[in-house]
Amino acid sequence: MLIKNFYIVLLMGLITSCGYHLRGDINLPSGLKSIYLEGASAELRDQFKKSFGNNSDVKLTDTPENAGLFIRIYKENSQRRILSLSSGGSANSFELDYDFSYDILDSHNKVLAQNQIVSIKREYYNNQQAVIAKDNEELVIKGEMYRQAVGSVLNGVKVALDNK
């Protein structure tokens, strides 16, 4: 039993020493209470709402009047491309591309960051034997891409507010 506990403690020490940590809440400045998101697709807006759901301090507002910060999304683009074909002509692998540009403005319409670009690419294998699973896999990958995009935008917000 003592040896088992030793190995558990050793494993935990190795994990923390490599820099691994659990993803926590979004840490935005305490004065920021609401963000207005303009021009985002429904999927991106939903992911913002989910991200702010864990953080009770910041909310995504539907009206710009009371927002402390504006995020203006434009040129949002999502594409799916075939990377390789099987000998029978069906797709073996796909690439998903998701990109957009955004501006960050304060409550007085002063530009804090302009023309910031988010670009995310993912590849996945198209298993011809598991048709239902491949559709689910693509949805999971897209969800993760939207999560990463929100994280990139919120990191941009942190930097813009720190440089304000």
- Average the pLDDT over 145-159 and give the result: 93
Q: Is the pLDDT of residue 100 over 70?
A: yes
Q: What residue spans define the domains of the chain?
A: 31-162
- pLDDT band, very low/low/confident/very high, at 30 (cuts 50, 70, 90): low
CATH of domain 31-162: 3.30.160.150
DSSP secondary structure string for all residues of the chain = -HHHHHHHHHHHHHHHHTT----------TT--EEEEES--HHHHHHHHHHHHT-SS-EEESSSTT-SEEEEEEEEEEEEEEEEE-TTS-EEEEEEEEEEEEEEEETT--EEEEEEEEEEEEEEE--TT-HHHHHHHHHHHHHHHHHHHHHHHHHHHHHHHHT-
- Average the pLDDT over 98-111 and give the result: 94
pTM for the complete prediction?
0.77
- pLDDT band, very low/low/confident/very high, at 55 (cuts 50, 70, 90): low
pLDDT tens-place string over residues 2-18? 677 766 766 666 666 55
